[in-house]
Every structure is written in C-alpha cells, then in structure tokens.
Amino acid sequence: MQSTSPNFTQNAKDALQDDPLQAALAKLTDGFPIQRLEAAARLPEFEDLRDEARDIKTHVLENLDLYLEAYEKKVVESGGHVHWCQTAEDARETILKICQNANAKTVTKSKSMISEEIAVNDFLEENGIEPVETDLGEYIIQLRDEPPSHIIAPAIHLSKEQVADTFRDAHTDLEKDRPLDEPRALLEEARAKLRTKFLSADVGLTGANMLIAETGTNVLVTNEGNADLTNNLPRVHIVIASIEKIVPTLEDATTILRVLARSATGQDISVYTTFCTGPRQLNDLDGPEEYHVVLLDNGRTDMIGSEFHEMLRCIRCGACLNHCPVYKSVGGHAYGWVYSGPMGAVLIPNLIGMEEAQHLPHASTLCGKCESVCPMRIPLPKMLRRWRERQFKAELGSTRARWALKSWVWLVKRPRIYRLAMNMSVAILGQIGFRGRFKSLPFAKGWTSKRDLAAPTGDTFLSQYHNGARGDQSGELIRRGGRK
Amino acid sequence: MSGRDAILGKIKSNLDRPNDLESKQAIQNRLQAHQKNLIPQRGELNQDQRIALFCQEASRVNASIVELMHFDEIPAAVSEYLRTHQLPAKVKIAPHKDIASLDWDVNTSLMIEEGRGAGDDGVSVSMAFGGVAETGTLVMTSGPETPTSLNFLPLDHIVVVRAHEIAGNYEAIWERIRDVQTKRGCEGTVPRTVNWITGPSRTADIEQTLLLGAHGPQRLHILVISEATT
C-alpha cells in the first residue's frame, strides 16, 4: 500500500474538520476503554496475566529462530506447507501461485493486518482473482477502497448513512429504494451477500493471531464467525502471518488469549477462538484439503535485537489506539498507512522507513497511557523517543525545530545559566501576561492560534524550593516565604 | 539462499545467543512439558460451582441454557426450542453416536437430517467436546462425528454438552484433548479444528452498535446433560 504518512500534518488537519469522523471517534472514548476497565475489574489476576503474557513473548523473541523451526516441523507433520517470505512481494507471489494451482476464481478473506501490509487484494485482482473481505468492517472499507482506520474496528470512522450509501452503490442488483436506515438492515444485506461468497470460494485466506510451535497450529479470533467460514469451507486454507506471531504451547496461547480480548473490546473472550492445524484429517466431513502458511518477514528481522525489538511483542489488540489522545482526535487514516495510533507510530517507520514516516513519532503527547494499557507492556513512549533521537541524528525535521532543540540542550547542560534564564523569563512573562493568559505569543503560534496559553504566576519550582516551600503529605503546597 | 535460510540466519545473527545447542534443548523441553501458567481463581471450582458459573457466564454473552437429566430428553427439548422461536420443524444433526442414536420420532414430527453443515441450514444440533466455566465457553473439536461447519452455517445452533465435561478452565480441556488424542494413537497432535465458542456471533462494526448473528449463528442454545454416561 502506498503510504500518505508524509502528509500526516495535513491529514490530521483534515481529520479535525471531518464531522462524521469526529462523531465516530467520540463514541470510541465511551466504548472500548470503559469496557476494558470493567473486564479487568472482573479478573483480579489481570495484571499478573499481563506480566506472564509479556514474559512468554520476550522468551519467544529471544529464541525466535528455534521456535520457528519447531513450528515448521509440526506444520509439515500435520500435512501442511510453510512458505518463508522475506518481502511483501515474495508473499504476494506465493499466495498467487497457491491460488493459481487451485484454479481459484474467488478468495474469501478474514481480517488480517498483514494482508493489508502486503496489499494482496489489489495484486490478486490484477491477476484475475476476486478477493472478498468477509469481516463486516473490512467488507465495507473494501467496497469503499479505503484502508482500515482501526486494527479491530476497521470501519469505525464511518456513519451508518455512509455505509448505506456504499451498499447502494455496490449492490446494484437489489432494489434501489430498499430501507437501509438501521444497522440491522445493513448487516442482513452484507450477511446474505457474503454467504454466497463463502459457499463458492475456492481459497480461504486468513491471518493468525498466534502460531503455536507445540502443535503447528494457527489461532484465529473473531466475533462474527467469518474466519471460521473462511478457513473451513474452501478447498484450500492459506494463513498469512508474520514471524513474530509464534508462541510455544497451547497453554501459552491460552494465557495471551486471557488478556487479548479484555484489552481489545473488554470482552472476557471473543465469541470465536479457533485453533486450526493442517488440512482436514482422515474421515473428517469438512475442512480444507490443503493448508498453507505464508510466513512473512517484511522488515521484522531487522527489528530483532534493535531498540525496537520489544515492539515485536505486540498482539494487535488496539488498546493503545483506544486510549491515545492523538488517535482519538485524528483517527487512523491520518497516520497514512496500514497501522495507526502509538503502535503504528513505532512500527510504521520500521516497515516503510524513518524518512517516509517521520511525522508519526511526533504524533504523541508522550502521556504514557498507551504503555499503561498495553497487555504486553510494550514501552511505546520510550520507543517513540528513540525515533525522535534517530531523526535528530539523521538531521530530519525543520531547521527551526533543530535549532530550538540544540539551544535547549546547550542551556540545560549549564544549570546556572538555565536557572537565571528561567527566573528571568518567568518574571517577564508573568508581568506581560494579560489576566494571567496570552492570546498570542511569537514562536508559539501553533498553540495560541487555537487556545490561550497560561502565563506563569509565581516563581520557578527551584526558587520556591530554595525559599522553603514544601508539599505536605496530601501534596498540597505549603508556602513558607517567597511571594504568593 | 532460500527465504527460509535468510530469515533464520538474520534472526540468529541479530540475537547473538551464547549457546545454541543448550537453547535448543531447553526449548524442546519447554514444548514437551507444556506447563500451565497462572490460572485465574474463578477457573478453579468444584463441579457444582463450575456448572453454575458456566451457565452464568454463557447467559451473560447471550446464550440460552437448559439443564436436562438424560440424553433421551434432547429431542423434546429441541422441539420445544423450535416452537418457542417459531422455527420450521427441520434440524440438521451431527452424525454423533450419542445424538444420532436418539429416538427423534418420539413426540415430535421433526425432519431430521444428518451430516455436515450446508449454506441453508436453519437449525443444527451438535456435540461439544466440553465446556469452560471461567467464560461460559463451549469447546468443539472437528472429527468424523463432529463436523465444524455445523457450528457456523445455521442461524440457530443447539449444542449438547455433558455436565461433567464442563471444566473450570481452558487448561483442563487441553489436557483432556491431549489424553483423547493419545488414546486414539495420535499422541502430540490435535484435531484439525478446535473451536472455543462463547455466545452467538456478533458484530459492532457499524457505529459500534452491537448486533447478533453477523456471519455465524444468531442464537446459541446450550443443553447441559447431567447424566454421567460416556
């Protein structure tokens, strides 16, 4: 997929003016985060489970090559095939070849971020094979030719009226003035349309929430059941997964599943958690006759052992998006590529390059909420800072910003001058602020064009401290001396 | 160099692990031991508590549950369900010995068909491998008697589960699956498909409005059988 990440600033401005998008994002705030809290409250062991989940993935990453070998062996033993693909192009070609060997005309797909990453839909279409997204949200955005705007709720940016218009444009065989005002009507229509696709597809392409080394199994988590109709009905099941999806055992997968849905939607567990291993077995009445796993690298091996190594623990729950003040203001499309939110801002520069995605690590207030809700305890703010440092070293970013940073560094390394400068500016700004506020300030237009900036009203922390000010136990400031 | 060698080689060189042979052995041991991790307290209950929690959690996610004493009460319970929801008297049942052998003609005029699921199935009856109390989850395994398609194609899914096969936690089910596979002479393998099913199908993809019956069943009806036959 071609990224629009270089246009992040403009994308974000547009998003802020987009009323339906803002209405949709406002709903997000009341939904997932509250449900997550309630689910966590129902499970006293939630925090301990997060620790265990983190440790499992940390252990896997330290031995990833060995686990991949063990996993491959089990897939082969169960009658499946493993295809190792270094690049998106390798993966697209591999999938196409499997489809062509199966004489496939239609491929049903259940939601997979990796498949977005390698843009396999366009490629299959170019080669005369029809890919059909079956997750309701993915189906809607496929009809609209848009990327997902959220990992687990890809069409979250759309209103039901927009969905209705999309269906009217796409389903031209149906009556023009049929009622489509209610979400239920939209769902019924999509269900009927997709049911025929499920039954006629030659190949089912799914992602994988995890790959289990012990048994050569892939895990699929959905609420709709679309991944199940996708993997069970067609003659060929292809799994596309990136190499870091490995976990050791069924028990380890189980531990991670206990934190996945709770972090994502606030469900205790998703409706359907499915474990697929190889093709159908002797005397089975259904299931695919062929089972293929396309293992994708696409930049991940470069992250191993790097300062972004820990990002590979990510299980794509979306909690960091749901809690991010920046994501909640601009939505997923502003980030300009497949992923978004804090995890996207860390991952995207790794996958498409730091220069192309240079704005994204700055699309964060570093408030730390993402790390506090991440089930795998990924230090996202730390890694966003790493990208900012790398950019500074690579001399990316505006000259003015670089000059300001350099001056700041010069100043903070000289505490006496720093204090003097601070005392002076606090005193001056305190005097010239009108009713304790600034309506505009040079060098701070980015702030003051939208809102007032509070003027400093007292001394700096250090001078108050030196003058004997201390906090009491409640944190209330007790002033001894110094001016009020 | 093949993609495989390139990927594995790059991981190895970036990891800089001291002793490969030792790590390899440690990992084989870990895979074979498949030790349990932390199991939440609510998954550790006695049988009565397990069944109570299973029913409570399954209802929380919109499943309906009926407790029956014996298997031979199933046909009547299924007819009752069809009447309640005003459904056609036609059911696709799993070719499972404990379900297919029931006297489906008694008291009912049901049309019974046996086999895997089809696109136009209305109601199916299938047999669970077990249940998990901690989240009200049904565990279904694929096999000659238990086709997976029956779990997903019909609009109404009726599942039979034995009370004593409702476990407290998922781990207990994995242990049982391993035992069953070993007894079948397939040690170290799992059935092609294992489904954990927790409530009927749903979506919230349109304006975050929760709707049941997205692609899978719109209703999930669970028959818990107390009779302790095998």
CA dist A75 and A277 (Å) reads 7
Rounded mean pLDDT of A454-468?
Answer: 85
Same structural domain, B25 and B126: no
Same structural domain, B61 and B10: no
What percentage of residues in chain B have a pLDDT greater than 70? 98
Residue B169's closest chain A neighbor by CA? A254
- Residue B205 has its nearest CB partner, among A52, A85, A137, at A137
B162 closest CA partner among B187, B127, B203: B127
Minimal C-alpha gap between A391 and chain B (Å): 23
What's the domain range around B29?
1-34
- Residue B211 has its nearest CB partner, among A48, A184, A285, at A184
CB atoms within 10 A of CB B198: 25
Q: Look at residue B223 and tell me whether its pLDDT is greater than 70.
A: yes
DSSP-derived secondary structure for B70-83: -GGGHHHHHHHHHH
Our CA angle for B202, B208, B209, nearest 5°, is 60
Same structural domain, B113 and B216: yes
A284 and B61 in contact by Cβ < 8 A?
no
Per residue in B34-79, pLDDT (tens digit) is 999 999 999 999 999 999 999 999 999 999 999 999 999 999 999 9
Per residue in A30-69, pLDDT (tens digit) is 789 999 999 999 999 999 999 999 999 999 999 999 999 9
Instruction: Provide the pLDDT for residue A443.
Output: 74
A17-48 b/e with 16+ CB inside 10 Å = b?
Answer: ebeebbebbeebeebbbebbeebbeebebbee
Per residue in B141-177, pLDDT (tens digit) is 999 999 999 999 999 999 999 999 999 999 999 999 9
Same structural domain, B66 and B12: no
B215 and A24 in contact by Cβ < 8 A?
no
Cβ B208 vs Cβ A27: under 8 Å: yes
- The ipTM (two decimal places) reads 0.97
Minimal C-alpha gap between A437 and chain B (Å): 40
Pairing of the two strands B166-167 and B211-212? unpaired
Sort out which chain B residues have CB atoms less than 8 A from A305's CB and list them: 14-16
Q: Answer positive or negative: Cα dihedral of A179, A185, A188, A189.
A: positive
A20 closest CA partner among A176, A118, A162: A162
Sort out which chain B residues have CB atoms less than 8 A from A270's CB and list them: 198
Cβ B38 vs Cβ A45: under 8 Å: yes
Residue to test with chain B: of A111, A212, A235, A286, most B Cβ within 10 A: A286
A215 and B30 in contact by Cβ < 8 A?
no
A30 contacts: CB under 8 Å, gap ≥ 6: none
A148 contacts: CB under 8 Å, gap ≥ 6: A113, A116, A137, A138, A141, A154, A155, A332, A338
> Which 3 state secondary structure label does DSSP give A109?
strand
> Which 3 state secondary structure label does DSSP give A466?
helix
B170 and A254 in contact by Cβ < 8 A?
yes
B27 and A248 in contact by Cβ < 8 A?
yes
Per residue in A418-437, pLDDT (tens digit) is 999 988 888 888 888 777 88
Counted domains in chain B: 2
B7 and A84 in contact by Cβ < 8 A?
yes
Cβ A136 vs Cβ A190: under 8 Å: yes
A250 and B3 in contact by Cβ < 8 A?
no
A198 closest CA partner among A220, A231, A242: A231
Q: Which residue has the higher pLDDT, A478 or A80?
A: A80
Residue to test with chain B: of A275, A295, A304, most B Cβ within 10 A: A275
- Counting Cα atoms < 13 Å in the Cβ hemisphere of A127 gives 20
What percentage of residues in chain B have a pLDDT greater than 90? 91
- The C-alpha R_g of chain A, in whole angstroms, comes to 26
Same structural domain, B213 and B108: yes
A248 and B31 in contact by Cβ < 8 A?
yes
CA dist A87 and A93 (Å) reads 10
Here the tokens at position A299 are 């930049």
Per residue in B98-125, pLDDT (tens digit) is 999 999 987 668 899 999 999 999 999 9
CA dist A54 and A77 (Å) reads 29
Same structural domain, B17 and B75: no
Q: Look at residue B230 and tell me whether its pLDDT is greater than 60.
A: no
Domains and CATH numbers, chain A: 31-298 (3.40.50.10420), 302-397 (1.10.1060.10), 412-478 (no CATH)
Same structural domain, B24 and B121: no
B112 inside domain: yes
Same structural domain, B132 and B51: yes
Please give the interface size between A and B, counted as residue pairs whose CB atoms are below 8 Å apart.
Answer: 264
Rounded mean pLDDT of B124-153?
Answer: 98
Instruction: Provide the pLDDT for residue B160.
Output: 98
Same structural domain, B12 and B114: no
Sort out which chain A residues have CB atoms less than 8 A from B206's CB and list them: 136, 140, 155, 158, 160, 163, 183, 186-187
Instruction: Provide the pLDDT for residue A442.
Output: 76
Instruction: Provide the pLDDT for residue A274.
Output: 98
CA dist A29 and A369 (Å) reads 13
CB atoms within 10 A of CB A444: 11
Minimal C-alpha gap between B107 and chain A (Å): 30
Same structural domain, B70 and B16: no
The 3-class SS string of A371-438 reads HHHCCCCCCHHHHHHHHHHHHHHCCCCCHHHHHHHHHHHHHHCCHHHHHHHHHHHHHHHHHHCECCEE
Residue ranges of E strands in chain B: 64-68, 90-93, 111-114, 123-127, 130-132, 137-141, 156-162, 166-167, 193-197, 202-203, 211-212, 219-225
Our CA angle for A263, A264, A265, nearest 5°, is 110
pTM of the predicted protein model: 0.93
CATH code assigned at B53: 3.40.50.10420
Rounded mean pLDDT of A82-90?
Answer: 98
Per residue in A256-296, pLDDT (tens digit) is 999 999 999 999 999 999 999 999 999 999 999 999 999 99
What average pLDDT does the structure give for chain A?
93
Per residue in A160-216, pLDDT (tens digit) is 999 999 999 999 999 999 999 999 999 999 999 999 999 999 999 999 999 999 999
B6 inside domain: yes
Beta-bridge partner residues of A240: A294
Q: Look at residue B128 and tell me whether its pLDDT is greater than 50.
A: yes
Sort out which chain A residues have CB atoms less than 8 A from B209's CB and list them: 160, 183
A136 and B203 in contact by Cβ < 8 A?
yes
A65 closest CA partner among A187, A327, A244: A244
A182-208 b/e with 16+ CB inside 10 Å = b?
Answer: ebeebbebbbebbbebbeebbbbbbbb
Cβ A142 vs Cβ A133: under 8 Å: yes
Residue to test with chain A: of B190, B197, B222, most A Cβ within 10 A: B190
Cβ A71 vs Cβ A216: under 8 Å: yes
Per residue in B74-92, pLDDT (tens digit) is 999 999 999 999 999 999 9
B108 inside domain: yes
Whose structure tokens read 């094979």?
Answer: A129
CA dist B149 and B95 (Å) reads 13
Instruction: Provide the pLDDT for residue A59.
Output: 97
Here the tokens at position A275 are 């474990």
B230 inside domain: no
Per residue in A291-311, pLDDT (tens digit) is 999 999 999 999 999 999 999
**pLDDT band (50, 70, 90) for residue A483:** very low
Per residue in B188-220, pLDDT (tens digit) is 999 999 999 999 999 999 998 999 999 999 999
B159 inside domain: yes
B17 inside domain: yes
Cβ B137 vs Cβ B131: under 8 Å: yes
Our CA angle for A346, A352, A354, nearest 5°, is 60
DSSP-derived secondary structure for A283-351: T-SSS-SEEEEEEE-TTHHHHTTSTTGGGGG-----HHHHT-HHHHHH-SGGG-SS--HHHHHHHHHHH
Same structural domain, B155 and B91: yes
Helix (H) or strand (E) holding A81: strand A81-85
CA dist B14 and A64 (Å) reads 11
Instruction: Provide the pLDDT for residue B107.
Output: 63
Pairing of the two strands A477-478 and B64-68? unpaired
Residue B189's closest chain A neighbor by CA? A215
A440 φ, ψ (degrees, to nearest 5): -150, 150
Calculate the alpha carbon distances from A477 to A431, A457, A469, A474 in Å. 23, 15, 7, 9
Same structural domain, B50 and B158: yes
> Which 3 state secondary structure label does DSSP give A208?
coil
